[in-house]
Amino acid sequence: QSPWLAYVGEHDGRDGHATLVFEHAPANDHLGEKGAHPAHWFVRSDPFAAVAPSWAFHEELVLPPGETLARTYRVVVADGAWDRARVAAHLAGLAW
């Protein structure tokens, strides 16, 4: 469980790298009167990379009829292979 995750990929055998960062908004962990529901990710890298928010990772998330669930996410597409410190510093400088 983490508020963000990143994939770093190589495009070719030389210097073609990119970083994709996926981040949950802090407000995603709070549903007001419905209580908290922590943010989780569904991730895989084989046979291809995939990332998706998973609202029912450990337990069912029940919404009564007529209710809605709104979540906010950020996706950063960066040139180059960013390490954990660079991603964290970049995200810390962004406002929701």
Checking if the pLDDT of 20 tops 70, the result is: yes
Tally of structural domains, the chain: 1
pLDDT digits (tens, 9 = 90+) for 21-40: 999 888 876 554 454 556 67
Q: Taking the model in full, what pTM does it have? A: 0.79
Q: What is the 3-class SS of the chain, one letter each residue?
A: CCCEEEEEEECCCCCCEEEEEEEECHHHHECHHHCECCCCEEEECCCCCEEEECCCCCCCCCCCCCCCCCCCEEEEEEECCCCHHHHHHHHHCCCC
User: What residues are paired with 22 via a beta bridge?
Assistant: 5, 75
Q: What domain range is 55 assigned to?
A: 4-92
Residue range 57-77: mean pLDDT, rounded? 85
Please state, rounded to an integer, the average pLDDT across all residues of the chain: 84
pLDDT value, residue 38: 61
